[in-house]
Structure 1
Amino acid sequence: MSDRTATPGAGAGVATDRIRRYTRGVGLLIVPFLVVASVLLHILPGRTEELFAWTITPPLSAMFLACAYIGGIWFFVTVIRQRAWHRVRWGFPAVIVFASLLSISTFLHWDRFHFGHISFIVWVTLYVTTPFLVAAAVVVQRGEDRGAPELRDFLLPLWLRVVLAVIGLAALATGVVLFVVPQFAIDGWAWQLTPLTARVCGAILTLPGMVNVWMLVDARWSAFRWVVQAELVSLVFIAAALAIRGSDLLWSRPATPLFVGGIVVSLLAFAGFYLYCDRRRTAAAV
């Protein structure tokens, strides 16, 4: 059976569920910056003082941010390659919140940055413009998705959507608390943080939260399948970062085993969730 989207009446004045050129252009613009930042932060996390916009210590903090970027690469490459807007739609609010929080963090901790460095110039330019560019894409795409399931799709049961939304809200709330009260994270996080890296960690935690809450209004697996892929990629690299930089973890803190265990459980749970939904999608004929 075809994997195309079901868009009855396309071409007759109704929604076509297409990704417009502007939105693809935003993806094409953002991906190269994410690739460079991911290489600098995940492969060379100990050299941020000389190579990055600001010095990030310990290296695990740099790698944690890189993991969010790597998930972002997967997401925006999907935006560039896909045809259907609804397949990537719910990732955009998460990107807007994440980029906005990093923009605010930049100005709150202006003195921490390497003024004049090319990475600093790129960082500031990117985070001043990205929230508006991505928000504009949402406006441009307005009306493209009327909520129709694909010809082959799976509708997530209500109980599962509620569970995932509650988990997402918990992650979102935690992220907001870390951003607003960074000292809360500094005193108890799994590794040493500064006020700036605490806020960055908070911004990262809002990403899955801002995705999951939309499951309360959209039951289509096709609307989350590709965004969940990006989350899984990010979790894989977070797990790798914890293994590589285990020496940065503060095991004397209760939060450390909870955080490490939470990442492992999240990775396994999301992988199981993805496989379950994909098997149901393969068997479905909506």
Structure 2
Amino acid sequence: MERYRRIGPGLTGVFAVFSGLAFLAFLAFLALYVVGGHTDQIFSWTILPARTAGFLGAAYAGALVLFAGALHDRVWARARISVLPPAVFSGAMLVATLMHLEKFHLDSPEVLPRAIAWLWLVVYVVVPPALVALFLRQQRRPGADPAPDEPLPVPLKLVMGVLAALMTGFGVALFAEPSGTPWPWTLTPLTGRATAAWLLGLGWALVQGLVDGDRARLRPGFAAIGVTALLDLLASVRYRDSMDWTGTASWSYVLAVAAIAAMAAAALLSFPGGERAGRAR
């Protein structure tokens, strides 16, 4: 009998599916981040201003890193960071999609945006309940989690706690009232709720990291958050004309994203060499 809970056949199958979905997410990254000004032609709904597409594209790039980092590890405790945060995000995104279904290119006369819109809808209907069901199934598998090898330092836990509170708070506020929540660029009800979905997923990832309390289990999560923050900082420069620099919202936002990038980099660079991380494989 195995000492540690390992990923069962069901979750391995989901990760195999996510390998295919990762390719689609990469295409979404290209459509949203690289050529974000053409979402009317190459995405499931039209996103304006392009600054929002930059944020969403950066988040999809982070998701790719998350799954790539978790796919190679078959110990459940180190892979589950890639399950519940995406479930939270995809569930919120499904609700946002259904609330604003008329905004999607489901009836577009153009084949490409119509196909992408229907693919989007199918993916977000299927993925959230599948991830929750498989998480519960995996938690019931025999075995235990390995003991934490690399406890989170207190300063890192404090920073994670503050960022988790900020992301969750803004995520809830944006989802409830997109037009009434301060934000450094213009958001529509749909783009506000799509942005909120990512904030809720990232906030959940930080909360889960605090609960697990082991950096060895959070490497994919820290890498994903760091990539998202770095690309979003670059998007702030690229789309600087879309942001309101006269008040404090834009500057506060940039400082917060820079702090997230610094936290992720510090966490990754301070990891021990990795000898202990391989013990439970």
**Deviations, residues 107-135 of structure 1 (Å, cap 9, x unaligned):** 11122111231111111111111112222
Distance 1:79 1:67, change over 3 A: same
Alignment size in residue pairs: 270
Q: What percent identity do the matched residue pairs reach?
A: 26
Q: Aligned AA for 1:65?
A: L
Partner SS for 2:139: coil
Contact 1:175–1:205 under 8 Å retained in 2: yes
Partner SS for 2:74: coil
Which among 139, 155, 161 is matched to residue 165 of structure 1?
161
Which among 131, 134, 159 is matched to residue 131 of structure 2?
134
Partner of 1:108: 99
Distance 1:136 1:26, change over 3 A: farther
Partner of 1:4: none
User: How many angstroms apart in 2 are the aligned matches of 1:281 and 1:98?
Assistant: 30
User: How many angstroms apart in 2 are the aligned matches of 1:105 and 1:33?
Assistant: 20
Distance 1:18 1:128, change over 3 A: closer
Partner of 2:120: 123
Partner SS for 1:236: helix
Partner of 1:182: 178
Partner of 1:209: 203
Distance 1:106 1:220, change over 3 A: same
User: How many angstroms apart in 1 are the aligned matches of 2:84 and 2:223?
Assistant: 17
Q: Aligned AA for 1:156?
A: L
User: How many angstroms apart in 1 are the aligned matches of 2:19 and 2:276?
Assistant: 34
Partner of 1:154: 150
User: How many angstroms apart in 2 are the aligned matches of 1:284 and 1:227?
Assistant: 15
Which among 217, 222, 230 is matched to residue 223 of structure 1?
217
Partner SS for 1:115: helix
**Deviations, residues 232-286 of structure 1 (Å, cap 9, x unaligned):** 111111111112111211112321111112112221232113222x048669999
Distance 1:118 1:271, change over 3 A: same
Answering whether residue 211 of structure 2 is matched by residue 244 of structure 1, we say no
Deviation at 1:25, TM superposition (A): 2.3
Distance 1:118 1:285, change over 3 A: closer
Q: Aligned AA for 2:195?
A: C
Where does 1:26-175 land on structure 2 (aligned, <5 Å)?
26-116=17-107, 117-144=114-141, 146-149=144-147, 153-157=149-153, 160-175=156-171
User: How many angstroms apart in 2 are the aligned matches of 1:60 and 1:240?
Assistant: 11
Where does 1:241-280 land on structure 2 (aligned, <5 Å)?
241-276=235-270, 278-279=271-272
What is the Cα-based RMSD across aligned positions, in Å? Answer: 2.4
* Unaligned ranges ≥5, structure 2: 108-113
**Deviations, residues 51-100 of structure 1 (Å, cap 9, x unaligned):** 11111001110111111111111112223322222212123211111111
Contact 2:88–2:200 under 8 Å retained in 1: yes
Deviation at 1:182, TM superposition (A): 1.1
Partner of 1:6: none
Deviation at 1:170, TM superposition (A): 2.6
User: How many angstroms apart in 2 are the aligned matches of 1:26 and 1:284?
Assistant: 26
Contact 2:47–2:53 under 8 Å retained in 1: yes
Q: Aligned AA for 1:174?
A: F
Answering whether residue 14 of structure 2 is matched by residue 17 of structure 1, we say no
Moved more, 41-50 or 201-210: 201-210
User: How many angstroms apart in 1 are the aligned matches of 2:276 and 2:144?
Assistant: 24
Q: Aligned AA for 2:122?
A: T
Q: Aligned AA for 1:118?
A: A
